């Protein structure tokens, strides 16, 4: 008795998404993602909170306590973007949106695994800076997100400010868990992992290579090779089709994921997932577009909402295991592009130039 009612309560509470629109074009693109998911299914509840410069202006801090608590109480976070020139000069730097909100969220929520798929859409092959089929890629960067030089101590100035110190630290546990995550991602793809490091110079990279090699022996279903980061940057331009999963540390992953994403033609198309430990049997994650807040075009309806819509689809896949709705949303994005709907960043001759919300409407109509 009464059990039925409890079950219903659990189901309702279990699909809560914290929505953090943020700054610049963030609110516009997030609104389209919420619109598309809500049109596809009524299973998710969305609750908004302030983050980034918008939160700083309203409350004096880029990540208010209520925002962090909302994220902690949700199953997943859908974020737009944070930052912009207006907040670049805030002192101390810990109050700037990038450090005080984005990096703080990654640290506080334990989001150690950043998954950034980069797949060229057929309709947009001409937008790739690499010519012809060369730009047809389908790879995924798995970037360690809470360690390395981004978070190492000490980080300080000495010598009256004339010497600056950042520290790169990695331990075995951090390398193991991101490696296992990369193997998991590879298992749903071509099962090939290239681990990228700078083992000819860095001690952290030598440990990295050691740990990845050990795990590779224990998981023979995944093919693992190693590549130095400078060579990888070059190979991504020379022959990007050779990559399936790129596994790498925080800063190399930051750089290589921008390079990989540009090969698909537009940063405006690429989603990302930042995953942490599971909550119950669900992986917790923060989902956001790879692009930034683009303050120069904010508020004009010119932003491409597809990266955020695809990030919401990743959320349905990874956190909620709802592959069928995710697939419908991904197919709807591709269908809208195939029909010629374009925002300015990917506009081509003979296409239909539309605003952010009109592209959202076109995608809804394809669901």
What is the smallest separation between the CB atom of 290 and Mg ion, expressed in angstroms? 7
Residue 98 is a binding residue for ligand IPM (CB under 6 A): yes
What residues are annotated to the active site?
A: 150, 198, 230, 254, 258
Per rule CB under 5 A, count of chain residues that contact Mg ion: 1
3-state secondary structure of 349: coil
Mark the segment that binds Mg ion (CB under 5 A) among 122-130, 148-156, 246-254, 303-311.
246-254
List, in order, residues 6 or more apart from 225 with CB less than 8 Å away: 192, 193, 194, 195
- Residue 263 CB, shortest distance to ligand IPM, in Å, is 16
Which single residue is written with the structure tokens 């189901």? Answer: 11
Backbone angles phi, psi at 319, to 5 degrees: -85, -45
98 binds, among Mg ion, ligand IPM, none (CB under 5 to 8 A by kind): ligand IPM
Q: Examine residue 249 and tell whether it contacts Mg ion (CB under 5 A).
A: no
Residues 6+ apart with CB under 8 A from 276: 109, 110, 111, 112, 113, 283, 284, 285
Tokens 């819509």 belong to residue: 309
- Out of 28, 244, 254, 334, the only residue in the binding site for ligand IPM (CB under 6 A) is 254
User: Which letter does DSSP use for residue 91 in this model?
Assistant: S
Dihedral in degrees, nearest 10, Cα atoms 144, 78, 320, 359:
-120
Which residues does residue 156 pair with via DSSP β-bridges, in sequence order? 165
The region of 211-219, 234-242, 252-260, 299-307 touching Mg ion under the rule CB under 5 A is: 252-260
Distance CA 263, CA 257 (A): 10
Q: Tokens 């859908």 — which residue?
A: 78
- 102 belongs to the binding site for ligand IPM (CB under 6 A): yes
| Minimum CB distance to ligand IPM, residue 345 (Å) | 18
Q: Between β-strands 341-342 and 156-158, what pairing exists: parallel, antiparallel or unpaired?
A: unpaired
Q: Which is nearer to ligand IPM, 98 or 361 (CB)?
A: 98
Residue 345 binding partner per list Mg ion, ligand IPM, none, with a CB distance cut-off of 5 to 8 Å that depends on partner kind? none
Position 254 contacts Mg ion (CB under 5 A): yes
Residue 254 Cβ vs Mg ion, minimum distance, rounded to whole Å: 4
Is the separation of the CB atoms in 124 and 265 below 8 Å? yes
Please report how close the Cβ of residue 253 comes to Mg ion at its closest, in angstroms: 9
Task: Dig out the tokens for 80 from the structure.
Answer: 């737009």
Footprint on residues 48-87 left by Mg ion (CB under 5 A): none
98 vs 322, which CB is nearer to ligand IPM? 98
Binding footprint of ligand IPM on the chain (CB under 6 A): 98, 102, 254
Binding footprint of Mg ion on the chain (CB under 5 A): 254
């Amino acid at each position: 008795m009464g059990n039925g009612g409890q079950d219903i309560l659990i189901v309702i509470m279990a699909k809560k998404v914290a929505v953090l629109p943020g700054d610049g074009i963030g609110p516009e693109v997030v609104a389209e993602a919420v619109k598309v998911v809500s049109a596809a299914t009524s299973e998710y509840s969305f609750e908004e909170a302030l983050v980034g410069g918008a939160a700083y202006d309203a409350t004096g801090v880029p990540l208010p306590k209520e925002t962090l608590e909302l994220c902690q109480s949700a199953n997943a976070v859908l974020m737009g973007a944070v930052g912009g020139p207006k907040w670049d000069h805030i002192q101390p730097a810990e109050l700037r949106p990038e450090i005080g909100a984005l990096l703080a969220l990654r640290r506080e929520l334990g989001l150690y695994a950043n998954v950034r798929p980069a797949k060229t859409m057929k309709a947009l092959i001409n937008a790739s800076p690499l010519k012809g089929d060369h730009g047809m890629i389908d790879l995924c960067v798995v970037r360690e997100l809470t360690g390395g030089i981004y978070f190492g101590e000490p980080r300080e100035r000495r010598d009256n400010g004339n010497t600056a110190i950042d520290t790169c630290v990695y331990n075995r546990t951090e390398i193991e868990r991101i490696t296992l995550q990369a193997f998991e991602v590879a298992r749903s793809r071509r099962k090939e992992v290239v681990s990228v490091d700078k083992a000819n110079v860095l001690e952290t990279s030598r440990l990295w290579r050691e740990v990845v090699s050990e795990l590779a022996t224990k998981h023979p279903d995944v093919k693992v090779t190693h590549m130095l980061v400078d060579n990888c940057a070059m190979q991504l331009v020379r022959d990007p089709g050779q990559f399936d999963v790129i596994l790498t540390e925080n800063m190399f992953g930051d750089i290589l994921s921008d390079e990989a994403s540009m090969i698909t033609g537009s940063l405006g198309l690429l989603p990302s997932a930042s995953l942490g430990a599971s909550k119950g049997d669900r992986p917790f994650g923060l989902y956001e577009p790879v692009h930034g807040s683009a303050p120069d075009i904010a508020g004009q309806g010119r932003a491409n909402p597809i990266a955020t819509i695809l990030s919401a689809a990743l959320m349905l896949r990874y956190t909620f295991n709802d592959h069928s709705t995710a697939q419908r949303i991904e197919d709807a994005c591709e269908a809208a592009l195939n029909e010629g709907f374009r925002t300015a960043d990917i506009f081509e001759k003979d296409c239909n130039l539309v605003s952010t919300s009109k592209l959202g409407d076109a995608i809804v109509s394809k669901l």
